[in-house]
Amino acid sequence: MILGIDLGTTNSLVAYFTEEGPKIIPNRLGKHLTPSVVSIDEEGQVYVGDTARERALLYPDTCASVFKRDMGSNKEFKLSGKKFRAEELSSLVLRALKEDAEEYLGEEVTEAVISVPAYFNDKRRRATKRAGELAGLKVERIISEPTAAAIAYGLYQDNLETKFLVFDLGGGTFDVSILELFENILEVRAVAGDNFLGGEDFTNVIEEMFFENFPKLSKDSLNEKELRHVHKQAESCKLGFSREDTSKMQCKIGEEVYEFSLELGKYEKACEDLLERLKQPIKRSLSDAHVRLSEIDKVILVGGSTKSRMIHKFVGKLFHKMPYTNINPDEAVALGAAIQGAMKERNAAIKEVILTDVCPFTLGTEVVREWENNQREDGVFCPIIDRNTVIPASRTERFYTVRDNQTQIRIHVLQGESRFAENNLSLGELLIDVPKAKAGEEPVDVTYTYDINSILEVEVKVVSTEKVTRQLFINNDEIDMTPEEIEERFKTLSYLKIHPREREENKLLLLQGERLYEENIGERRGYIERALFHYERALDTYDPAKIEDAKREFKKFLEEFDEL
């Protein structure tokens, strides 16, 4: 069986395909959403999801979140004295999802289709694939999130000719994809996006407004624990707008309690710059797809951040139609990834659909451009495969030497949209030996091939000698890992034990109680302390019946206390 995994910035999900269609697999707490948060204690015990998120409020130095934004980079996160890259933290999330799936399905699972933002570049996609390998999964395909969502929506459409626009706003990234369904062909026409725009940015707006309202408070004066507390309350305030036109947040910092009330209209005005940023990828994708706004039949909302009333209003006003939300925006990507896995297995229960995808970025090389009057310009980017070219794709361009008796040509592999090479992402380079000759007389044919997993292969052929140099899987050398290094890191990460699933809910409840104790003062603290004491005593008995009764009672206490 091939799992479908939505590895998100804020939350992650895992799904599988059944005869009745794709289904979400619940995690060890019985929930569909697993927060993409990792915590590691001093003993090397790993906590993932809700438990890790609670630990983040109490022990911030042991936790990491929103690390998906740093996939493919050299940034390191320090947890309990140990350093991890984003892909390694992601592998721990994937490992927890894998364990949950195996427990639920009653069998070992080793294969998966993993989704990534459509606008993830080659480096980020490779890091995602490595994260899967470090989690013990064979990644059968990396699929773009909007494409996965469109599969979930488009597979069972009655109308066989439909143009979709998928508006995918998650916790940390924003993607737009334009797709066309024609009979059994689902074609991606164009993608665009912003890898640094998501729900977290809308939360940060409230956080900044909170600090502006209390000038005596400053971020620099607060410790990590207090900052996380403020951020959590800002997130709750944002979610409050789903029910009311006025939302509040309350923060206890030191011995003082700060209360902040915010009206929806004022919040929307403060978010105008972010809403304007959402428009840019939409315009670009429509332009690239040569599709007019009026030709879009359905706008599909994907990603947890699209549940916001403000986003619904923004999309409806922009497209002059109500967005389509028949599938839970949180779950659409995982369900589509599971369907893609079933397609890969050629599952007989699934309707046959031919899926085409596109290259999200332009791929090219660095050249010296010759202009009139023998003027030359160095460091110019020469596109070979344009963005939004249907993949798999292969393109060849011929280049020439620029100096007499030149013995080498450097093929600098680049990804991006800038006219200048230095402004684009460097994926690597090849140095090709060529025979000595006059400038412009020794040509090489450079072929770029981009496959359905968005992996690039570069082939260079020296025309005069017919010698071919080929390099698979172009990477940035700084973050590249050999198979041996991946295996070694896999062994290292394997020593980290994910918290036992049978004790997960108990740990989560204790952390919630500890957090409430720290957030309150006076008599309220006394009530929490007493409830914690009784629950801990029940856990110490190791009596399943007593623990279950105490758990039920403590959960009820926490729910009622939060409402006071």
* Residues annotated catalytic, as ranges: 6, 68, 145, 168
Tokens of 198: 């998501």
Distance CA 119, CA 168 (A): 11
Tokens of 335: 């369900």
Distance CA 346, CA 153 (A): 19
Backbone phi, then psi, for 350, in 5-degree steps? -105, 140
Angle at 163 between CA 361 and CA 112, to 5 degrees: 55
Residue of 17, 359, 353 whose CA lies nearest to 181: 353
CB 128 within 8 A of CB 145: no
Distance CA 547, CA 557 (A): 15
Distance CA 466, CA 155 (A): 47
Helix (H) or strand (E) segment spanning residue 434: none
Distance CA 434, CA 408 (A): 5
Tokens of 70: 């740093």
Q: What is the DSSP string of 387-409?
A: TT-EESEEEEEEEE--STT--EE
Sheet holding 363-370, edge to edge: 376-385, 363-370, 408-415, 425-433
Distance CA 413, CA 474 (A): 8
Residue of 305, 335, 330 whose CA lies nearest to 171: 305
Residue identified by tokens 């010296």 is: 368
Q: What is the DSSP string of 313-371?
A: HHHHHHHTSPPB-SS-TTTHHHHHHHHHHHHHTT-TTS---EEEEE-SS-EEEEEEEE-
Q: Exposed, middle or buried: residue 495 (CB in 10 Å: 0-12, 13-18, 19+)?
A: exposed
Residue of 158, 205, 164 whose CA lies nearest to 187: 164
- Looking at the DSSP bridge assignments, the partners of residue 111 are 2, 138
- Looking at the DSSP bridge assignments, the partners of residue 181 are 162, 186
CB 55 within 8 A of CB 504: no
Q: How many beta carbons lie within 10 A of that of residue 399, not counting itself? A: 18
Which residues lie closer than 8 Å to 384 by C-beta, 6 or more apart? 363, 364, 365, 395, 396, 397, 446, 448
Which residues lie closer than 8 Å to 206 by C-beta, 6 or more apart? 234, 237, 238, 249, 262, 267
Distance CA 170, CA 156 (A): 24
